[in-house]
Structure 1
Amino acid sequence: MNAILNEALNNYEVQCPKVEFIRHNENETYKVKDELTNAQYVVRIHKPSEKFSLDVFGDEKHSVSLLESEMKLINSIRENTDILVQQPIKNKEGSFVTVLNDGTPVTLLSWIEGSTVQESKINEEVLFTIGKMVGKFHRFSKKYSKDSNLDRYSYDKSLLVNTILKIKTGVELNILSSEQLKVVVDAANEIANRMNELELIENSKGIVHSDLAKSNLILHEGQVAPIDFCLCGNSYYYMDLGSLFSHFDNLEQRKSILSGYKSIIDEEIDTKYIEAFMVFQIILFIATHINNGENLEWFSAAIERWSKEFFIPLANNISFIEL
């Protein structure tokens, strides 16, 4: 066990920890089992990987205020919905966020047993359950967002501008061509146009998860549990649908997800807005990985594919999602 992880765990009532590394993106994440009590946890050391940049959010690391608000949100979901989520664990001082000697914040949450959607064979029932869970979360958010005053990221036009500025550095680094950058900028401009349209629709925005990747969805006894709310924030609810559609590209899968969603949120869903936020997800991914683009063999080819399949059609108001 490395020194920083040892220091982190010493702040909690974990007596005999057995540690397993999970991943390192925006956080350094480990599974921890207390072999004395058999309790299982997730510990997150909030120090982004060198391959992952939080610059577009105006952050080098997650602030204590952001993490406290994340814990508050998760607890509110636990108290006010039947959505299965992790339980935030307080440290020995009674706080949900621990700050290490070097200033690095740490959080501990309960472990949810199960497998990720990424690791599992999924069927129509699972997909419907995913959509239903997101619908329940948005139904909760529509009430909660009006009264809460959380310190969260905002997935809005300002972030869109920051994202483009970050991607522009890819031209200086010879990772992107000027032509590729123009395609991304044109797509971003159309995203901004569609955000303006959504501003005219009542209750179109609130707290969203924003990162509904297959690895952040846990299957547990017939339920789908969302994990890793670290990047959650204020945006249009279509942000989460765009997130799902960027990870589930099969037509029938998308239909099943939307069926589950609409079983809770009985509203018309316009695919033009799903397309906008699906592209927003992709360009956010580019921006957070652009510093390491030259070391990613697939990066250049992926830019070309995304441009052809998504960016250019969006900029030209050509639909690329069929339902």
Structure 2
Amino acid sequence: MDYTECFKEVVLKYSFLDPIVEFIRHNENITYKVMEKGTEDTYLLRMHKPITKNMQGVQNKREAIQSELEYLLSWSSHSELPVQIPVPNLNGELVTSVVIEREEVHCSVLKWVFGDTMSKRDFTNKEMVSTLGKRIADLHQFSRNFKQGPSFIRPEYGLVWINNMLTKLQSGEGMGVIATEEFQILQEAILLVNDRMKGLSKSSETWGFIHSDIHYSNLIRTSKGISFIDFGLSGFGYYAKDVALAALFIKNELRDDLLSGYSNMISGKIDIAQLEDLMFLNICEYYAFLISREEKHMRIREHVPSLIELCKSLLKGRMVFYQINQVGLSN
């Protein structure tokens, strides 16, 4: 289905006067940049339809999209930094549903956050890395006090998430992307981490609403500071998952600065072993996310040996926080 021809029907449901629409990409969503001609008014239009069925999940349901947008509205009233504020349609709804070739597709529009998309090169000094830790802590502090309604639903990043991830990775074995002996080692490491996760508590101090996709490409350098964008995979999980994601693109020698920036805002000891487990799971999630896309198989295959070496280190009980890297994790 060519969704690029369908945005016109969606645009008509909003109060745009003379929009110029530019396709951005199709990944977990189909995204467009919408600009009002002759003005600086700019928006992000999302069609919540992932590129493959493997990427579908709770986050694509209308109720879950509504929940994400409610969180963003609440976050925007708290944050001193720019936020992707949801824009209602002509009926006052935050989620717009259209039927395309007998398939219902949910859509949403957000105000554009102006600034520069950040890169790994932006996080090569202590000050910037510490600031990122503080921004993540600020987001988590807000989440702890966020009052969700009875219909609020988002994905959960717990034991079921790990099991689903393992199932997707196992399909890579059947496709020949991951060798049988490699998958056995990968499975052993994931099950080890899974057992450790079972022993973790889900208190208000450790578990709550998280971004779950913190990556430099989802950080915007604005005139007021670093802003988060793309809450499309946000949900409930250990707050440490967000910290672990950020650590993956921070240089090893600066990771303590990330942790100190975070802990200066949120009291409590950071468990390095838990961060290591979550860094590993975040990497596994990335490959599970891509496994159904044949054009990504060569990239996955290229980095699997490094992933297996990481598995072996975890299985031997070695500390890997200051050695573990992205293992090919990038856009």
TM-score between the two structures when normalised by the length of structure 1: 0.91
1:319 alignment counterpart: 319
Tell me the amino acid that sits aligned with residue 209 of structure 2: I
Secondary structure of 1:297's counterpart equals: helix
1:5 matched to 2:10: no
- Distance apart, 1:170 and its partner CA: 1.3
1:88 alignment counterpart: 86
Deviates more, 1:275-284 or 1:148-157: 148-157
Matches of 2:221 and 2:150 in 1, distance apart?
Answer: 29
* Change in CA separation of 1:147 and 1:190 when aligned onto 2, cut-off 3 Å: farther
Match 2:95 to one of 88, 97, 100: 97
1:197 alignment counterpart: 199
1:141 matched to 2:143: yes
Residue 189 of structure 1 contacts residue 315 of structure 1 at CA under 8 Å; is this kept in 2?
A: no
- Distance apart, 1:294 and its partner CA: 6.2
* Change in CA separation of 1:106 and 1:147 when aligned onto 2, cut-off 3 Å: closer
Match 1:39 to one of 26, 38, 41: 41
- Unaligned 5+ segments in structure 2 are 324-331
What are the equivalent positions in structure 2 for 1:1-323 lying under 5 Å apart? 2-50=4-52, 53-55=54-56, 57=57, 62-102=60-100, 103-118=104-119, 121-122=122-123, 123-144=125-146, 150-199=152-201, 203-248=205-250, 250-293=251-294, 295-308=296-309, 310-322=310-322
- Distance apart, 1:239 and its partner CA: 0.8
Per-residue CA deviations over 1:49-97 (Å, capped at 9, x if unaligned) read: 13x7225x4x5x7111110000011111122343532110001110011
Tell me the amino acid that sits aligned with residue 72 of structure 2: I
Tell me the amino acid that sits aligned with residue 160 of structure 1: I
Question: How many corresponding residue pairs?
Answer: 317
2:329 alignment counterpart: none
- Distance apart, 1:143 and its partner CA: 2.2
Matches of 2:152 and 2:200 in 1, distance apart?
Answer: 22
Residue 177 of structure 2 contacts residue 297 of structure 2 at CA under 8 Å; is this kept in 1?
A: no
Deviates more, 1:92-101 or 1:170-179: 170-179
Per-residue CA deviations over 1:18-62 (Å, capped at 9, x if unaligned) read: 222322210111211101432011111111113x7225x4x5x71
Tell me the amino acid that sits aligned with residue 85 of structure 1: V
Residue 19 of structure 2 contacts residue 36 of structure 2 at CA under 8 Å; is this kept in 1?
A: yes
Tell me the amino acid that sits aligned with residue 95 of structure 1: E
- Distance apart, 1:196 and its partner CA: 2.4
Secondary structure of 2:35's counterpart equals: strand
Residue 86 of structure 2 contacts residue 109 of structure 2 at CA under 8 Å; is this kept in 1?
A: yes
* Change in CA separation of 1:148 and 1:82 when aligned onto 2, cut-off 3 Å: farther
Tell me the amino acid that sits aligned with residue 74 of structure 1: L
* Change in CA separation of 1:110 and 1:146 when aligned onto 2, cut-off 3 Å: closer
Matches of 1:62 and 1:84 in 2, distance apart?
Answer: 25
Residue 180 of structure 1 contacts residue 307 of structure 1 at CA under 8 Å; is this kept in 2?
A: yes
Matches of 1:160 and 1:78 in 2, distance apart?
Answer: 31
- Distance apart, 1:148 and its partner CA: 6.9
Secondary structure of 1:101's counterpart equals: strand
Secondary structure of 2:268's counterpart equals: coil
Deviates more, 1:88-97 or 1:297-306: 297-306
Matches of 2:21 and 2:295 in 1, distance apart?
Answer: 32
Deviates more, 1:72-81 or 1:130-139: 72-81
- Distance apart, 1:3 and its partner CA: 2.4
The two structures, once aligned, show a CA RMSD in angstroms of 2.3
Residue 133 of structure 2 contacts residue 262 of structure 2 at CA under 8 Å; is this kept in 1?
A: yes
* Change in CA separation of 1:106 and 1:294 when aligned onto 2, cut-off 3 Å: closer
Matches of 1:15 and 1:252 in 2, distance apart?
Answer: 51
* Change in CA separation of 1:119 and 1:283 when aligned onto 2, cut-off 3 Å: closer
TM-score between the two structures when normalised by the length of structure 2: 0.89
- Distance apart, 1:159 and its partner CA: 1.2
Matches of 1:193 and 1:82 in 2, distance apart?
Answer: 40
